[in-house]
Chain A
């Protein structure tokens, strides 16, 4: 029973365009959501987070949107760059006591 789902295993986007990565969750008690980026053979690195009291958080080229009624969050990257090519994981939790991760989406940004 996956509480956090990333239904798209992969995504290809042209450089300069917008990348949209999606994540759905089932547990309405989650109050904190995070996005991580992972390169091969490295640990995930924190990208951006959002708490359940907000519906948008922006940091440079990265914006996370939260739709609590739909239990859905998305990460927008604009403009996309080749260095953004990686696997992206969304995670959800309650005060990050126990983070539940999705299965990841592999983003490929091509020239």
Chain B
């Protein structure tokens, strides 16, 4: 009973490449989020979206953009990947009382 699906578990990209991370949820949630997890820093919010075509910056939006063309899909875009964007990326969707995460994408930028 998969609820939140991220398109890739592992990715290796070169510095300067444009990277797309895709996330799809099947719960009809309005809210969707992108986080990154780094050792000692916990989960940090990059961007979130309350509705289709809506987006708001989180705590660390620099170097990222997002796209929400359909309710079920929230994409994270690294316009020009850099080595400091090597991280675990987590997508989540939520209702007022619950939130679910995808399995995560481990991105390595070389």
Q: Could you say which of B12-20, B38-46, B75-83 contacts chain A?
A: B38-46
B106 within 8 A of partner (CB): yes
Contact residue among A43, A91, A96 (Cβ-Cβ distance under 8 Å from B97)? A96
| Count of chain A residues with a beta carbon within 8 Å of a chain B beta carbon | 25
Dominant SS at the A interface? Answer: loop
- Indicate with 1 or 0, residue by residue over B76-95, a CB within 8 angstroms of chain A CB atoms: 00000000000010101011
The complex places the Cα of A97 from the Cα of B33 at a distance, in Å, of 10
B7 within 8 A of partner (CB): no
Give the interface size class of chain B. Answer: 20 to 34
The complex places the Cα of A97 from the Cα of B45 at a distance, in Å, of 12
Q: Count chain A CB atoms within 10 A of each CB in B4, B48, B95, B99 and give the residue with the most.
A: B99
Query: Are A36 and B101 in contact, with the CB atoms below 8 A?
Result: yes
Task: Identify the closest chain A residue to B48 (Cβ).
Answer: A98
Within 8 A of A (CB), among B28-66: 31, 33, 35, 37, 40-45, 48, 50, 58
Binding site for B on A (CB under 8 A): 6, 9, 32, 34, 36, 38, 41-46, 49, 89, 91, 95-104
Binding site for A on B (CB under 8 A): 4, 6, 9, 31, 33, 35, 37, 40-45, 48, 50, 58, 88, 90, 92, 94-104, 106
